[in-house]
């Protein structure tokens, strides 16, 4: 059985200056900003500090601003299949994650496990 849990929150900012948006949210949440050194990461800024073992980042998008959550898992295909059985729809695949929509309309992403202590804190959902 695979393991999954809430991985964090992503603050989508439509057509915003990413550094300015990240600075605002970092200050509002008492966190620091961290530019990613990974290739293709120019649209993202991680927020660091005491985030209670959750990944929080700001990203620039071309849709209306909103906050979405990430579900991190050690088996993306299995978690996507489980969520589809619950009524979610797969919308797209972006690099190594899957964008989905809940039956209630909210979008969220299923992402690879990446936070510290994932294994010890993950829920073993059935």
d(CA 89, CA 113): 21
Domain residues for the domain of 72 are 4-119
Q: Following DSSP, what letter does each residue of 11-34 receive, concatenated?
A: EEEET--HHHHHHHHHHHHT-EEE
- Whether residue 92 lies inside any domain: the answer is yes
Residue 125 lies in a domain: no
Residue 124 lies in a domain: no
pLDDT, one tens digit per residue, over 4-47 is 888 888 888 887 788 888 888 888 777 888 766 665 667 888 88
Residue 51, domain member (yes or no)? yes
Looking at the structure of the chain, the number of domains it has is 1
Q: Whole-prediction pTM value? A: 0.66
Pairwise CA distance, residues 41 & 27, whole Å: 21
CATH classification of the domain holding 96: 3.10.180.10
């Amino acid at each position: 059985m695979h393991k999954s849990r809430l991985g964090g929150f992503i603050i989508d900012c439509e057509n915003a200056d990413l550094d300015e948006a990240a600075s605002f949210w970092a200050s509002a949440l008492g966190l620091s900003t961290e530019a990613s050194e990974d290739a293709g990461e120019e649209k993202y800024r991680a927020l660091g500090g005491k985030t209670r073992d959750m990944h929080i980042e700001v990203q620039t998008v071309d849709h209306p601003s909103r906050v979405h959550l990430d579900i991190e898992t050690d088996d993306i295909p299995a978690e996507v299949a489980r969520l589809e059985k619950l009524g979610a729809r797969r919308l797209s695949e972006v690099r190594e994650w899957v964008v989905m929509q809940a039956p209630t309309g909210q979008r969220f992403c299923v992402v690879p496990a990446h936070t510290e202590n994932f294994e010890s804190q993950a829920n073993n959902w059935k």
